[in-house]
Structure 1
Amino acid sequence: MKYWALLILLIFSIKESIANPYPLKPRDYYVGVNKIYQGKPATLKITDEYIKNYRTRLQEALNQDVEFAGEYVVAEWGCGSSCVIHSFINKRTGVVLDHVFGGEGGPFLEEVYLNSRLVKAFGENEADGKFYTYYYLLEGNQLKLVKMNEREPIDWVDIINYAYRK
């Protein structure tokens, strides 16, 4: 009997790992951050053309309160009607993360957490035309995609865009 129970458990475990190539364990949803940065904002590190082009907005964002992973601020600016771009800047170091949300840069930012390294975003996957919730974890100075969940379009703009492409 023990062997059958173990075999069934193993089969369901394998099925789940095959069905979801981005496993996210419950403990990963709120990957704790021990300290919240309280110091002065660093000077923006201009390391590429993107940062150079948006340096004024990115530098201004460093004066905001920390919003993500204990030491990051979120810069936000419009890029046209119903278009917005988000970038993350480390308030302690002045380094801008490579990953951009919104605009033409990818999915739209949905949630960030002050005391966690988890970022939740949403958008259409151009490869298959479906909508997903994306989960990213901050590892070092990079956001790594750890899970994607298919979802319905979330508002009329998504629905119109989705219907137009069909």
Structure 2
Amino acid sequence: MSTDTSARWRLRAHAALGALVAALPAWASAAPRFADYPVPAIYQGRAAQPLLADAHSRNYATRLRDAATEKPDFAGRYVLATWGCGASCTMSAAIDAKTGTVTWLPFTVCCWDADVEDHLEYKLNSRLLIVHGARNEQGGGTHYYQFNGKRFAEIRTPPRHAPHPPGDHQ
């Protein structure tokens, strides 16, 4: 390889590497999308009564039973029940419309920004749950979780200064 060809190759490699490094922050901060967490099917059957298997569920039996009469609205076969637990505070549980199993969101949510329309964003055809606000009155921001039918697993929480992309969750 001639010196001229080698220099051109190095210049191109450095330019490509520079473009890749420049793109990394945008790639790393890309918010999870509903389409990234699809469900295999949408449950169409009759809604099961919630199973009040623990003391926490029994304490909120009326709320859970009322919510269980609704059609699934989350993760293919769940009703995401949400109610107030104080000033600007909510608690939530996913009720399996097929089995009645109750899975609690492991924290309350409060203190979301005034410009946030819904402090919990979710869809029937996705396992993604987007939480806006403070969890158990600590911190704040936007937090991303995926639901696997047994628990809500945190995907990630971007730094507080990172803006939440407006409505681009498809």
Which residue in 1 is equivalent to 2:151? 142
Which residue in 2 is equivalent to 1:124? 134
SS in structure 1 at match of 2:66: helix
Structure 1 residue 47 and structure 2 residue 53: aligned? yes
Greater CA radius of gyration, 1 or 2?
2
Q: Which runs of 5+ in 1 are unaligned?
A: 153-166
Q: Find the aligned partners of 2:146 and 2:50 in 1 and give their Cα distance.
A: 23
Return closer, same or farther for 1:115/1:55 CA change in 2, 3 Å cut-off.
Answer: same
Q: TM-score, normalised by structure 1?
A: 0.67
The one-letter code of the counterpart of 1:33 is: V
Superposition map of 1:26-45 within 5 A: 28-30=33-35, 31-45=37-51
Aligned length: 145
Return closer, same or farther for 1:148/1:63 CA change in 2, 3 Å cut-off.
Answer: same
Which residue in 2 is equivalent to 1:112? 122
Which residue in 2 is equivalent to 1:157? none
Select between 141-150 and 81-90 the one with higher mean Cα deviation: 81-90
Residue 77 (structure 1) aligned to one of 74, 83, 95: 83
Which residue in 1 is equivalent to 2:3? none
Q: TM-score, normalised by structure 2?
A: 0.66
Return closer, same or farther for 1:64/1:123 CA change in 2, 3 Å cut-off.
Answer: same
Return closer, same or farther for 1:82/1:16 CA change in 2, 3 Å cut-off.
Answer: closer
Percent identity reads 31
Structure 1 residue 57 and structure 2 residue 57: aligned? no
Q: Find the aligned partners of 1:10 and 1:38 in 2 and give their Cα distance.
A: 46
The one-letter code of the counterpart of 2:157 is: M
Q: Is the 8 A contact 1:72 1:89 kept in 2?
A: yes
More strand by share: 1
Q: Find the aligned partners of 2:19 and 2:46 in 1 and give their Cα distance.
A: 52
C-alpha displacement of 1:147 = 1.8
